[in-house]
Each structure stands twice: as C-alpha cells, then as structure tokens.
Chain A
Amino acid sequence: MSTSRLQHIKDHLLGEYTCAEMAAPYSPLTTHVLNTGMGVPGAHMALSLHRMDPSTSLWNLLTTGTTNDDGRCPGLITRETFTPAVYKMRFETGQYWESLGETSFYPYVEIVFTITDHSQKFHVPLLCSRFSYTTYRGS
C-alpha cells in the first residue's frame, strides 16, 4: 500500500480532512489570503484548521488545505462539525514566501478565535506581506 494511501486512511480515521475532500456546498467558515506586498492573492499557501479540546487544552487538527489561485480554500468545515469552541487557523506564510524566493519576518501565522454562535458565517482573512499582517472578522 502506498504511503499516500496510508496517510489518507489515517487522516480519515483521525477525522482530519483536506479542503478538496470536503467539497462542501459551502462552509460556515471561510478564509481569503491576500499578498499585500505584491498586490496579488496569496495562492497555493498551505493552511490548517484546529479546534481546542477544552478538557485537555490540546489542539485537534480538523482540516488541512492549500489556497487556490484566488487565495481561497473552500470546504474548510461543515456546519455539523462547526461547534462552539476556540479554533485556530494556521497559515504557512514562511513556506509561502520561501516558495517565492523571499524571506519573511514571520515563519507562520496562527489566528485563534472563539465561536459562540455557530449559526453565523465567519470569514477569517489574512492580508500579509513579508513584514506585516492583518486579519479581521468578516462574514
């Protein structure tokens, strides 16, 4: 059995998903990465979504993905899985800048946020350059 097939099975057993596999009609949580340093979408940036387990204070990996050409990553989570909790979006910004042949001040960016009303839509964008970043709660 190939290692990628083993990884695929492992991911499903552990409840981890990639954005492509989810293919949800829409996710109540969305993101958008913008490369403000170059004025382009932050395309092909690896990212992951995690949820904090309140009893252990450990982060559980929910989804991994890569932004598309538009800097977006559809299918992050399903409505059913999106329970009230503390979540973390991790963006592999250091890898991203490295792939463009640049250094960056931040090896990665983690944005931790609290979801109390999971019936709403939440948009967690990242506007980043090599030496700065911004995020805001959108919908």
Chain B
Amino acid sequence: MALSLHRLDSLLVIWNLVTVGTTDEDGRCPGLITTKAFTPGMYKMRFETGQYWESLGHNSFYPYVEIVFTITNPNERFHLPLLLSRFSYSTYRGS
C-alpha cells in the first residue's frame, strides 16, 4: 500500500511532503523518518487505501485515509498502525 508522511509548515500553513513509501509484505514501512528530521510539530500519514482495495478488485468506502497527529516530544517512539477493511478503519498511538 502506498503511503506518505507530511509535516505541517506552521508558518505557511501548508503540508510539506517528508517521505513516500509502500508497505512491505508484512504491511510495514521501515525508514519513514530519521531522528534528526523528526522535529516537534503536526504530521500527517496518508494511506492510499482506495488504490489498495482497487488492486485487489474491490471498491471501498474511503478513497484514502489521512491521520493527523501532534508530536511534542520527538525523543519518544511513535507507532501509527492502520487496521483497515473496505468499510471501516482504526488507528491508535503505539510506541
């Protein structure tokens, strides 16, 4: 599944693309961001779920999923899973 990570430029109030990637066979995407680039701010993970379901020959209620989250302490580890079906999704803050 194609995905991308964005950071909000708080001055210009626009999203800057940080990383694009595709999940591996385990549904993971290592190397999303470096510790150095991971500054406090508002981020957005965008998952191309519509494309994903289409590639499996299905339609879906959601053309894509965007999860916007706030990082105040970038020294912590953050895990942003997406549990997904054609008609529902869930996310939670993991570590």
Binding site for B on A (CB under 8 A): 86, 94, 104-114, 131-137
Contact = CB atoms under 8 A, between A and B. Distances in A.
Nearest to A52: B63
A114 B62 contact: yes
A135 B88 contact: yes
Given A132-B93, A136-B87, A106 B70 contact: yes
A111 B68 contact: no
A132 B92 CA distance: 4
Contacts of B68: 106-110
A113 B93 contact: no
22 contacts: A86-B63, A105-B69, A105-B70, A107-B68, A108-B68, A110-B68, A112-B63, A112-B64, A112-B65, A112-B66, A113-B63, A114-B50, A114-B60, A131-B92, A132-B92, A133-B91, A133-B92, A134-B88, A134-B90, A135-B88, A136-B87, A137-B88
The 4 closest A-B pairs by CB, nearest first: A132-B92, A136-B88, A131-B93, A137-B87
Is the interface on chain B under 10, 10 to 19, 20 to 34, or 35 or more residues? 20 to 34
Interface of B: 42, 50, 60-70, 87-93
Nearest to B86: A137
Contact of B62 (A111, A131, A133): A111
A136 B88 CA distance: 4
A104 B68 CA distance: 11
B3 to A, nearest CB: 15
A65 B91 CA distance: 25
B32 to A, nearest CB: 17
Contacts of A136: 87-89
